[in-house]
Structure 1
Amino acid sequence: MDLSSVKIAKYSGQRIWMVRAHEGKFLRHFKNGSVVTIGHLDKFYNHTESSTLDIPTDESIRGLILSNADFVDTKSKIRKFNGKGRNCFHQISHFINDIKKGDIVVSLDNTKVMIGVCQSTKAHFSSRPIASSADPKELSTVKLKHRLRKKVEWGPTIQRDKISGLLKETFQSRHTVTNLTDHWKDVFGLLYPFFSDEKNLYFSTHIGTRADINGKIISRFFDNLSSAQLVAEKLMLGVITDDFIDRILNDEIDWDEFDLTAKAFFKSPGDVFNKIPLPKGSDEGFSLKVLALVLLLLSGQSNADDAAQQLDPSGNSALLYTPSDMIDERYLPRNGADNVDRLLGELARKNSQRLERMKKAQKTAKIKTKLKLSIPSHETSSLEGKAGIKVTRISSNEE
């Protein structure tokens, strides 16, 4: 496995919104125009007939909607919205006021889900129709004419039938604008194999087999992953001992010492999301990479020798150790220091035989094959850097 392609994303509290137009009819238009739009305000307001391009205030929008009898509660003595009016006003308000620059935006149609990052807090008007393709030969006769828009940097498109769990149900919502922030872990798990919230590392794995899942195999898979936390903690100290490996394999460690938890939505195929608390008192960047590497090893995605070669090609990291094979703390990474990869590579190299012995005993290769395990590998670069999402690569320092 190419560790330079494996990313650890950082969730920094951005909200997540699902915005759909005409049941996904304009998904390709959103992509082509690098926008997200809604048409609700167009029913009541045309900016081309105004002397200003400013977005109307909430009170102005309220008045505009109430000027249409179809949106007024006729049974009320005071002029107020009926259900249709309230929904329309709230959809417009969410779009204008709540979706901010840096927020994640999800849109979808019946077969695909597209994920992007909002690039403008302020909404804008535009009368330029948007075609469904940038290729003149593939232009659709249907063009998007919604005038209220926000800029979005769109990233990967994922097949909807690959999505399981709570998101699958949430995507059934008929609202144009829906807050998905409570499902941020599920959204990040679609995009990235690893992501963190500064307190925990999350690991996203996909079970690809369509056959019935053997109970022994799936239980061993979870058992293997549960040991990742303890293995990583020992690895960060320098050397894993044979005695420690034997205690793991013989189930001689108190179960209360295992903190990894799991949320699974596998239905052959399906997804598994694991969470491990980050060790206290350790450099966060270093801890994230060690935990991620161990999870890759124990899920059969990588091997120790290959990881060591990628992370520390020269193999000249002996200076990081004292004669007793403990890490010399003077060389531990501080605040994203350049030697993080080199140290991680040397840890893998010095412990490769014991790690591979453990993997063989845990039957990680067989489990990976039987379950057809994989991790998300979408092209997400357009979502990162200036677009908003911060990532660390396992085999390179933080971007």
Structure 2
Amino acid sequence: MLQNLKIALLTQEQNVWFIRAEKGKYAKHFRAGGVIAIEHLERAYGGIIPNELPTEEFIRAQLLTNEKYSEFRDNTNGKESRKLNRSGFNVLNQIRRFANDIKCGDLIVTRNEKDDGYSFGICSETTPYIDQAPIRIPTIKKDGTPGFERSSLSYKLRKHVVWGPSISRSELPGAVRKATSGQQTVTSLNNHKEKIFHLIYPFFTDGESLFFSNKIKTSHRVNALAVGKLFQNVALIKSLSETLLGEEFSDLSQLARLIESAILLGKSDIVTCQAEFMSPGDMWCRIPLIGDSLTNQIFACVLACLLLTGQVKAEEIASLTNNEAIPTLTVKKDTGDIFNDRYKTPVVSQKLKSIAKAAGSQAEVIESQDHSITEVKKSLNLSITKVDTEKLEGFEFGINVLEIGKSHENR
């Protein structure tokens, strides 16, 4: 698990959008066509749609000819003229938002067919386009000959999307389920950006904090003592990571006392959490990144997170440094911008090796002495997010990630 573990790099410019596909009816068509599409242009025109996207003025003019979307109102001079009504403004605003606000690199979420979870994709082209050809789903008929499913997607206003993984609806936090249950076709999920990324990555960073999540997989009643101990363990992440950066060994009970003192003194650079203790449920953590080299901090924090939640064994950490091996933390795509340059490390980093060795020693002590970490993991059936995100990353505008791996010093 440790090797090839990914830490997603979040940028402030990246937005998250929910696109409604008629309650999932057209989700398969979205994926098959590599698109998202909305019906609002058809509503505005009510007939033949031009081959090029019309201007906002033309769309407004079309809506004004439709009694469903406009009404007569008195002007200041006492004369009547047609104005858009509430429905007309909604259609225009949805077209405007779809065409202008969704940009390449934005994360797209849509609800799947038959309430079968949610799909995630990345917008790969900012410019919208008109396509008159319907999208149909290939299938094999009963007689073995190729054919198409009965339903087809005829919405003509589209944008290109590279689709990736799907997840079960039960995985979504309550706040995200609520945000995606409204009536709008195009909805911003920026207020839930962190929780959305927690669904597909176990770790991600914005350069100021490292975000980490645990999934509580138990279907039984949640043990309150186990939850309390989990919070205690997670509270030690920052302090343990600092110990690993110092290439030292730490007594966890002593760290706990230091954390209690820090809270009483009002320190702000501590781990913060949110949680939904359902069964199953989630716990989300934010660890501040302050001071030392950014990549060294991230590496140490990742190891501390995994150690204190029982997700990694001493043997696996040792594999990063065995037989002249040396751990690596590399940016998947070298985009050459200032944001990603912050995450670059030397090809051979002795500091990462020292951190890994310190973490391995800590893991051995935890396994032999501190059985509470293992018991908490077992009681709550803790796990981390395991989603195949390769398709979201493997192109120019895809999500960039840091990957943990290993190399050899003599290469």
- TM norm structure 2: 0.84
| 2:279 corresponds to | 268
Q: Superposition pairs for residues 1-399 of structure 1, below 5 Å? A: 2-13=1-12, 14-45=14-45, 50=50, 53-76=51-74, 77-109=80-112, 110-133=115-138, 139-241=148-250, 244-248=251-255, 254-256=261-263, 259-280=270-291, 282-309=292-319, 311-315=320-324, 335-340=344-349, 343-358=351-366, 360-361=369-370, 363-385=372-394, 386-395=396-405
Query: By how many angstroms is 1:264 displaced?
Result: 0.3
Q: Distance in 1 between matches of 2:108 and 2:325?
A: 45
Which has a greater percent of helix? 1
Query: By how many angstroms is 1:252 displaced?
Result: 7.3
Does structure 2 conserve the Cα–Cα contact (< 8 Å) formed by 1:111 and 1:161? Answer: no
Does structure 1 conserve the Cα–Cα contact (< 8 Å) formed by 2:325 and 2:406? Answer: no
Query: By how many angstroms is 1:365 displaced?
Result: 1.1
Report the CA distance shift for 1:49/1:357 in structure 2 as closer, same or farther (over 3 A): closer
Report the CA distance shift for 1:138/1:204 in structure 2 as closer, same or farther (over 3 A): farther
SS in 2 for 1:132: strand
Q: Distance in 1 between matches of 2:30 and 2:249?
A: 51
Report the CA distance shift for 1:3/1:21 in structure 2 as closer, same or farther (over 3 A): same
Query: By how many angstroms is 1:152 displaced?
Result: 0.1
Which has a greater percent of strand? 2
Query: By how many angstroms is 1:373 displaced?
Result: 0.8
SS in 2 for 1:69: coil
Report the CA distance shift for 1:346/1:36 in structure 2 as closer, same or farther (over 3 A): same
Q: Distance in 2 between matches of 1:37 and 1:334?
A: 36
SS in 2 for 1:275: strand
Q: Distance in 2 between matches of 1:383 and 1:232?
A: 30
Q: Distance in 1 between matches of 2:117 and 2:137?
A: 15
Mind listing any 5+ residue stretches in structure 1 that lack a counterpart?
318-332
1:153 aligned partner, one-letter code: V
SS in 2 for 1:300: coil
Report the CA distance shift for 1:71/1:396 in structure 2 as closer, same or farther (over 3 A): farther
Report the CA distance shift for 1:81/1:316 in structure 2 as closer, same or farther (over 3 A): closer
Report the CA distance shift for 1:316/1:374 in structure 2 as closer, same or farther (over 3 A): closer
Q: Distance in 2 between matches of 1:60 and 1:145?
A: 21
Query: By how many angstroms is 1:245 displaced?
Result: 3.9
Q: For 1:170-217, what per-residue CA distance to the aligned partner results, in whole angstroms no more than 9, with x for missing partners?
A: 111111000111111011000100011110000011101111111111
Q: For 1:65-97, what per-residue CA distance to the aligned partner results, in whole angstroms no more than 9, with x for missing partners?
A: 111111013455442111111111111111111
| 2:330 corresponds to | none
SS in 2 for 1:204: strand
Q: Distance in 2 between matches of 1:345 and 1:41?
A: 57
Q: Distance in 2 between matches of 1:393 and 1:161?
A: 28
Report the CA distance shift for 1:102/1:46 in structure 2 as closer, same or farther (over 3 A): farther
1:106 aligned partner, one-letter code: V
Query: By how many angstroms is 1:133 displaced?
Result: 4.7
Does structure 1 conserve the Cα–Cα contact (< 8 Å) formed by 2:171 and 2:199? Answer: no
Q: Distance in 2 between matches of 1:351 and 1:35?
A: 45
1:96 aligned partner, one-letter code: A
Aligned-residue identity in percent: 30
| 1:330 corresponds to | none
Does structure 2 conserve the Cα–Cα contact (< 8 Å) formed by 1:247 and 1:253? Answer: no
Does structure 2 conserve the Cα–Cα contact (< 8 Å) formed by 1:193 and 1:377? Answer: yes
Query: By how many angstroms is 1:118 displaced?
Result: 0.2
Does structure 2 conserve the Cα–Cα contact (< 8 Å) formed by 1:304 and 1:348? Answer: no
1:94 aligned partner, one-letter code: R
Mind listing any 5+ residue stretches in structure 2 that lack a counterpart?
75-79, 327-341
Q: Distance in 1 between matches of 2:49 and 2:377?
A: 62
| 1:328 corresponds to | none
Query: By how many angstroms is 1:249 displaced?
Result: 5.3
Q: For 1:29-66, what per-residue CA distance to the aligned partner results, in whole angstroms no more than 9, with x for missing partners?
A: 1011100000110233489764xx43111111111111
Query: By how many angstroms is 1:387 displaced?
Result: 3.8
Does structure 2 conserve the Cα–Cα contact (< 8 Å) formed by 1:71 and 1:82? Answer: yes
Report the CA distance shift for 1:245/1:45 in structure 2 as closer, same or farther (over 3 A): same
RMSD over aligned CA atoms reads 2.4
- TM norm structure 1: 0.87
Q: Distance in 1 between matches of 2:147 and 2:274?
A: 42
Q: Distance in 2 between matches of 1:70 and 1:127?
A: 24
